Amino acid sequence: MGETREDAVVDLRLDRAHSARIYDWFLGGRTNFAADREAGEQVLRVFPAAGDAARMNRAFMHRAVSHLAREGLTQFLDIGTGIPTSPNLHEIVQGITPAARVVYTDNDPIVLAHAAALLRGRPEGRTTYVQADATVPDSILRAPELLATLDLDRPVALTLNAVLHFVPDDGRDRAHALVERLKAALPSGSALVVTHGTSDFSPPVTDRITDIYERAGTPLQLRSEAEFRRFFDGWELVEPGVTLAHRWRPGETGGAGRPTAAEAICYAAIAVKP
């Protein structure tokens, strides 16, 4: 008898560390396993501020999407969503605009397994989940669930937070190519939000982090400020432009204290399509 979709057993490869689950562990979540915690502990030994960096990245996301919802954006496409961590993007934007629509995407089956928490949106709005690989952007743009939720003729806020550094170029400029494809599919008034790990500030530390991820089976490519800026080519950066995540309009939800540059391992920016 053929295997039905319901019967299909997805191999979550729990014996190997995975970026979503290592990140969940840094954030104090419970969806992580021995291999993830082992990799996370190795990272903490060389970069004790990893948990702070993850929280700063989340706090930036909160400020960024709040800003865009207040600016009137009502459609959000979040790629590389991660394991649900409340408040999730839809809770933030639907708290401002209850009718906001959100499409979440990730390629990790464990995120799919927990996606129910991402789908409890406001009745006025809509949230949906697409299991897809960001390196095949058309599989996201053409997904029936996306097309039933977002109107791609109206502005969309595209968020790619802490995901593009998991797309190594392998000599083919893959990360920039996928972002350009997504940008091209969105109309004027759309916004692009990106956070991305960098080795600009502490290369000896970040080289070791890259090594740990590589050995754990999750290739990582940190990028320079110039490489980060290229993601926004042709779009207009929103003030304060390219900055470290915790310095992007620090307010009540972030930017408190004085993290060192090493703690602030992550660039962030928002741009709008002219």
Ligand X SMILES: C[S@@+](CC[C@H](N)C(=O)[O-])C[C@H]1O[C@@H](n2cnc3c(N)ncnc32)[C@H](O)[C@@H]1O
> Site residues for ligand X, window 24-63 (CB under 6 A)?
57-58, 61
Query: Among positive and negative, which fits the CA dihedral 214, 8, 134, 102?
Result: negative
Taking the complex as a whole, the smallest distance from the CB of residue 138 to ligand X amounts, in Å, to: 13
Query: Among positive and negative, which fits the CA dihedral 143, 146, 152, 158?
Result: negative
Q: What Å distances lie between residue 136 and 42, 131, 143, 175, 177, CA to CA?
A: 31, 11, 11, 11, 10
Q: Is 259 in the site for ligand X (CB under 6 A)?
A: no
Nearer to ligand X, 6 or 156 (CB): 156
Beta strands in the chain (DSSP E): 75-79, 101-106, 126-131, 157-161, 191-197, 236-237, 243-244, 266-272
Nearer to ligand X, 135 or 260 (CB): 135
Q: Is 167 in the site for ligand X (CB under 6 A)?
A: yes
Query: Among positive and negative, which fits the CA dihedral 93, 95, 101, 107?
Result: positive
Taking the complex as a whole, the smallest distance from the CB of residue 272 to ligand X amounts, in Å, to: 20
Nearer to ligand X, 57 or 127 (CB): 57
Q: Is 221 in the site for ligand X (CB under 6 A)?
A: no
Q: Is 104 in the site for ligand X (CB under 6 A)?
A: no
Site string for ligand X, 117-136 (x = CB under 6 A): ----------------xxx-
Exactly one of 166, 213, 232, 267 binds ligand X (CB under 6 A); that residue is 166
